[in-house]
Structure 1
Amino acid sequence: MLGYFSIYKSEDETFSGGLLVLNENGIPVSFKYTEPIKPSKIQKIIYGSNLKNYLAFQILSSEELYSPHDVDLILTDDSDLINYIDIDKVIMYIMEVSSDKGFEVKEKEGIIPINQNSSLRFYSSKVLDSLTLKKLKSYIEIFDIFEPFTRLKEALVYICSSKEK
């Protein structure tokens, strides 16, 4: 299973985080999220620029988040998270780049071709084993690996905007 994790910050500095879990065909099997959190002034002062990373760690370190699904890999659209979150799951920041390079992996980063003109560039929190890379390549062949971030962000925006302030 593949997890998509993102943290949304609204204009009024309310945060919500969510994990969308997809099966091997790209079909959602679970969506878990935090209720909107509005940090206090003292939290903003104490955590400073690490506030988002602290919230992400609190969310991702929860065992309840993954049960009953075995998530192989967590993809994120936030490059900061791979450097600040240390959990047993692999967290991977991905982006689409114009590239005609072939498959290339070095330690915790690499490029995987998507089509003739674009590739997936990734940065990982851990060194990837061959099984994880094989699963990632199979997901890329089956569905648009970037599209679920759009759904996840729309859901988090909805969660933050639908709560009474």
Structure 2
Amino acid sequence: MIGYLSVLNLERKHIGGMLIVNEYGIPVEFKYSEPITPTKLQEIIYGNSLEYYLHTEIIAKGLIQKIENKPELILVQDPTLLFDKNIVMITILPQMVQEKKENNEAIVNLNTKSIRLTFQEGTKCDDSIVQKIIDYASKLDIIEPFDRIERALEYVCESQER
């Protein structure tokens, strides 16, 4: 199983979702946070650190604690969510580039795309995790579940406004 973690700011509402899928992209579990709208006082007191605090400390870490089906790894698209060695940021590069591994990054080529995998700061690329991502990507669109999470979180925010 592979996890997808997204935390978004949708019109001042901060909300996160965690989707666990099997190797074919079929959902095994989905958890989301309730939307958080910070008060004006919180915005003043936290300043520029408010979004990091809400997204990482409150929402993302809370979601990971709540999941019942622990995935082999968790993919994110936001570098502020790289707070654990089993979390990997995945980025589709705009063009094909040569594969390489250095420090906490790896670039791998899948079909007609190059993807950058970034591990937590201060850690080396984990070859077994890179291989797991390549294996998953051979069976499913490795980025597509992020779209599902975003649409689900937008739906949650909209349905609470009614």
- Using structure 1 for the length normalisation, give the TM-score: 0.85
* Contact map agreement 1:2 1:74 (CA 8 A) in 2: yes
Structure 1 residue matching 2:118: 3-state secondary structure = strand
| Equivalent in the alignment of 1:40 | 39
SS of 1:80's equivalent?
helix
**Which string of whole-angstrom CA distances, capped at 9 and with x for unpartnered residues, describes residues 106-147 of structure 1?**
22111111124x211121114343321221110111111111
What does residue 116 of structure 2 align with? 121
Measure the CA separation in 2 of the matches of 1:26 and 1:51.
33
Where do residues 148-159 of structure 1 align in structure 2 (5 Å cutoff)? 148-159=145-156
Aligned to 1:162: 159
Of the three residues 77, 91, 97, the one matched with 1:95 is: 91
Q: Which amino acid aligns with 1:80?
A: T
**2:130 paired with 1:133:** yes
Q: Secondary structure at the match of 1:154?
A: helix
CA distance in 2, matches of 1:96, 1:65: 29
Unmatched segments (≥5 aa) in structure 2: none
Displacement, 1:51? 2.0
Q: CA deviation at 1:61?
A: 2.6
Residue 21 of structure 2 aligns to which amino acid in structure 1? Answer: L
Q: Deviations over 1:81-110 (max 9, x none)?
A: 22xxx34x52222111111423x2222111
**What's the C-alpha RMSD, in Å, of the aligned pairs?**
1.9
Using the alignment, how far apart are the partners of 1:133 and 1:72 within structure 2? 12
> Any runs of at least 4 consecutive aligned residues in structure 1 with deviations exceeding 3 A, and if so which?
none
Written as runs of structure 1 = structure 2, the 5 A alignment for 1:40-119 is 40-55=39-54, 56-62=56-62, 64-67=65-68, 69-82=69-82, 86-87=83-84, 89-97=85-93, 98-102=95-99, 104-116=100-112, 118-119=113-114
Aligned residue type for 1:93: M
**Residues 13-28 of structure 1 aligned to structure 2 (within 5 Å):** 13-28=12-27
Q: Deviations over 1:28-55 (max 9, x none)?
A: 1011001111111122122222222212
Distance 1:33 1:44 in 2: 23
Q: Percent identity?
A: 38
Are residues 129 and 79 of structure 1, via their aligned partners in 2, closer, same or farther at CA, if it must alter by over 3 Å? Answer: closer
Contact 1:6–1:77 under 8 Å retained in 2: yes
Q: What is the rounded CA distance, in whole Å, between the counterparts of 1:128 and 1:44 in structure 2? A: 36
Q: Supply the distance in 2 between the matched residues of 1:61 and 1:16 (Cα, whole angstroms).
A: 12
